[in-house]
Structure 1
Amino acid sequence: MKTRLGICRRKRRFASREAADAAALLSPLSLRTYKCALCHHFHLTSRTKGLRRPRPAE
């Protein structure tokens, strides 16, 4: 997924995929994580077409 610089600056950044997945699971929305090619951190996106939501940690 390609993120534009303006979008990247507005999104919350997570240092690890685990932290981003935890935030996605707490949200009432269906969110998934991805690594940004610009800032090399993880962001959340609502684009989930054809993708699975992360499983909760056991």
Structure 2
Amino acid sequence: MKTRPAICHRKRRYGSEAEAIAAALRARVTLRPYRCELCRNYHLTSRTKGMRSLPRQPVAN
């Protein structure tokens, strides 16, 4: 995913994919982490078409 500089600067940055996934799982909407080509950190996006999905959370019985 190619991020424009203005978008990159507005988005929250996560130092690792694990941090980004944890934040995505806490969100109320479906989010997916991706590595930004500009800053080399991770951002979150709501775009999911054609992308790999997030790991599923275990369902409590």
TM-score higher than 0.5: yes
Q: Secondary structure at the match of 1:44?
A: strand
Answer with 42-51 or 12-21: which moved more: 42-51
Q: Identity rate of aligned residues, in percent?
A: 56
TM-score scaled by structure 2? 0.85
Structure 2 CA distance for aligned equivalents of residues 21 and 4 of structure 1: 22
Note the residue ranges of structure 2 that are not aligned, 5 or more in a row. none
Higher CA-based Rg: 2
Contact 2:14/2:42, CA 8 A, preserved across alignment: yes
Alignment length (residue pairs): 57
Once superposed, which parts of structure 1, at least 4 consecutive aligned residues long, lie more than 6 Å away?
none
Note the residue ranges of structure 1 that are not aligned, 5 or more in a row. none
Contact 1:32/1:54, CA 8 A, preserved across alignment: no
Tell me which residue corresponds to 1:18. 18
